[in-house]
């Protein structure tokens, strides 16, 4: 088989049974891999009313047809389950090298069922798969656990936050790469699964090597031309720009610019720290950076979202505090957007800025004291205190792009299947950076159609599975050619994008059956106040979005739409 491996592994932690099946070819062709394959498998196996932390829930790891190939930025894997933070179907992906090893072990999908009687970890070395006791690893944070398992292969594990079922817990791999947001680390913890360590030796087979290599070189040239800023500064490169455009949320979104933004920017980090790039598998960008010397030697540089959430969103300009708390979050396995944003909401409730973050983060990781409140996220915190201070959509805390200055992003937040997320459709690309074309960021006009296109294309890229930065440089035509050359299956551009639309509708169906409706496709009330977003224009654009999607006005996919996507067996 080309591109895919044809192998699905199912592990039941309750009885220790490990089974292998052939991957369903219809699923592979229609949903590709990564996010799409995971969503399809999850939808088929689980009822939407499942308790995310119950033994009956499952956790799925997936690779894609381009994972582990020579395609640029192809080292990722995905996870799918139901989120304990949002209650939505939830996927998350991560870079590093874990995904490459999983693919080299010839696995399209790894399905984890049941709950172990005691802590365990799973080892995978090609066809040799075993479940081991992990009592000696339980209680360790990410770095220590990874160190202890590193001789066996690449490790994905949870820290103490996942063990304690914190709803914003991540699954971490390669020390500081995260399957973040949504709390899939808590799902892993509920199964008493501490870690998965994998080593593979089988390179993926490519259908047309000559064609694939030609397209790969062309794609790589596009990436190299468009990624200089990311290579130099990482994602922190955008912080000063967001502030200049007055779309940098500050003080829990009460303001849109921060007077000391330059002191937590990528430029400031570059000038004041000796840093080096850190690349994922088969990546020439190396957007992550590590400090080479000094008091923080070996510490990872925070991403833009972390700099923002523990910086401007908390009225903090102390970069050292952010570097420290970022390392702490990664070690405990805590989502930095949700934790920083929830602390900002708590600060607003208390009426004073937080001066020291490490104590709060430790309490979140240990699920103790006030951390028990904070770890449940800002929506639960806001409800507990009776204060409308939660900046989230569908329970997922918003990232560092103020929707009052980005109408397309506002609509993207509201309609995202997993909650308030910029990665479901990066509307900042056209609204800020002019990619693929510049659009007026202060109007809803034309945004519904553009958003649908971005959402579908993003879902397809998440299913290939490639790093999202590739989409800033590579056209969907090149993506399609890479996929076709790798798999030997002819994918017209229309079908390529259609894969993403199929994924998006299946996610929407799951959420509808889980109780989500049009009422949930909205924004925090704060954004509609004081001359912010025009509510009438927002609702009009939402209506237009449903029409573009082929959904009814309750936000439910119609039978005609489902039939056209080949989802005939899924009734609403």
- DSSP string of 483-546, one letter each residue: HHHHHS----HHHHHHHHHHHHHHHHHHHHHTT--GGGS---GGGGSTT-S-HHHHHHHHHHHH
**The whole model's pTM is what?**
0.96
Q: What is the pLDDT of residue 572?
A: 44
pLDDT digits (tens, 9 = 90+) for 496-510: 989 999 999 999 999
Place of tokens 């300009």: 317
Strand ranges across the sheet with 109-113: 18-22, 7-12, 109-113, 59-62, 77-82, 89-94
Give pLDDT, residue 531. Answer: 84
CATH top class, domain 7-199:
alpha beta
Query: Residue 226 has what pLDDT?
Result: 67
| CA angle, 82 then 87 then 93, to 5° | 45
Q: Which helix (H) or strand (E) holds 392?
A: strand 392-393
Nearest residue to 391 via CA among 351, 356, 353, 343: 343
In terms of Cβ atoms closer than 10 Å to its own Cβ (0-12, 13-18, 19+), residue 317 is middle
Q: What is the rounded distance in angstroms from the CA atom of residue 475 to the CA atom of residue 65?
A: 18
Question: Which ranges of the chain have pLDDT less than 50?
Answer: 571-572
Which residue in the block uniquely carries the two structure tokens 């399957």?
Answer: 179
Q: Which residues make beta-bridge pairs with 129?
A: 124
Domain locations in the chain as residue ranges: 7-199
pLDDT at 228: 63
Query: What letter would DSSP give residue 481?
Result: H
CA distances from 47 to 52, 104, 246, 466, 509 (A): 11, 32, 43, 29, 11
């Amino acid at each position: 088989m080309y591109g895919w491996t044809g192998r699905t592994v199912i592990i039941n932690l309750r009885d220790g049974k490990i089974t292998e099946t052939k991957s369903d070819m219809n699923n592979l062709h229609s949903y590709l891999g990564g996010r799409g394959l995971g969503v399809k498998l999850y939808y088929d196996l689980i009822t939407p009313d499942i308790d995310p932390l119950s033994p009956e829930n499952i956790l799925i790891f997936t690779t894609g047809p381009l994972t582990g190939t020579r395609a640029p930025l192809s080292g990722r894997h995905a996870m799918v389950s139901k989120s304990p933070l949002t209650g939505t179907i939830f996927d998350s992906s991560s870079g590093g090298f874990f995904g490459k090893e999983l693919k080299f072990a010839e696995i399209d999908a790894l399905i984890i069922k049941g709950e172990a009687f005691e802590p365990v970890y799973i080892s995978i070395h090609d066809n040799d798969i075993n479940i081991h006791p992990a009592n000696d690893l339980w209680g360790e944070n990410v770095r220590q656990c990874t160190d202890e398992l590193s001789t066996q292969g690449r490790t994905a594990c949870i820290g103490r936050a996942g063990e304690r079922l914190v709803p914003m817990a991540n699954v971490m791999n390669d020390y500081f790469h995260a399957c973040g947001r949504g709390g899939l680390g808590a799902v892993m913890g509920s199964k008493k699964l501490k870690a998965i360590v994998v080593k593979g030796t089988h390179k993926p087979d490519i259908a047309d090597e000559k064609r694939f290599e030609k397209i790969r070189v062309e794609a790589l040239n596009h990436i190299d031309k468009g990624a200089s800023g990311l290579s130099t500064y990482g994602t922190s490169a955008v912080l000063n720009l967001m502030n200049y455009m007055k779309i940098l949320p500050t003080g829990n979104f009460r303001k849109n610019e921060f007077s000391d933004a330059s002191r937590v920017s990528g430029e400031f980090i570059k000038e004041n720290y000796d840093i080096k790039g850190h690349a994922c598998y088969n990546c020439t960008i190396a957007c992550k950076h590590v400090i080479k010397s000094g008091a923080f030697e070996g510490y990872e540089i925070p991403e833009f979202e972390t700099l923002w959430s523990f910086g401007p969103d908390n009225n903090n300009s102390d970069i050292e505090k952010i570097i420290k708390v970022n390392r702490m979050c990664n070690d405990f396995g805590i989502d930095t957007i949700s934790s920083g944003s929830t602390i900002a909401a708590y600060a607003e409730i208390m009426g004073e800025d937080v001066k020291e973050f490490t104590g709060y983060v430790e309490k979140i990781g240990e699920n103790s004291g006030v951390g028990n409140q904070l770890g449940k996220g800002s929506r639960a915190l806001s409800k507990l205190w009776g204060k409308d201070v939660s900046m989230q959509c569908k329970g997922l805390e918003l990232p560092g792009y103020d929707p009052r200055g980005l109408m397309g992003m506002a609509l993207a937040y509201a309609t995202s299947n997993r909650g308030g997320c910029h990665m479901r459709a990066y509307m900042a690309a056209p609204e800020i950076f002019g990619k693929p074309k510049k659009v007026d960021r202060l109007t809803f006009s034309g945004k519904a159609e553009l958003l649908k296109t971005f959402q579908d294309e993003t879902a397809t890229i998440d299913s290939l599975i490639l790093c999202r930065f590739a989409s800033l440089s590579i056209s969907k035509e090149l993506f399609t050619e890479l996929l076709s050359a790798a798999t030997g299956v002819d994918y017209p551009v229309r079908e390529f994008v259609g894969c993403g639309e199929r994924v998006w509708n299946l996610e929407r169906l799951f959420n509808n059956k889980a109780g989500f409706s049009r009422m949930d496709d909205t924004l925090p009330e704060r954004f509609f106040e004081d001359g912010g977003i025009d509510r009438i224009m927002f609702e009009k654009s939402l209506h237009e979005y449903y029409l573009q999607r082929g959904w009814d006005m309750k936000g439910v996919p119609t039978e005609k739409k489902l039939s056209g996507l080949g989802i005939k067996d899924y009734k609403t």
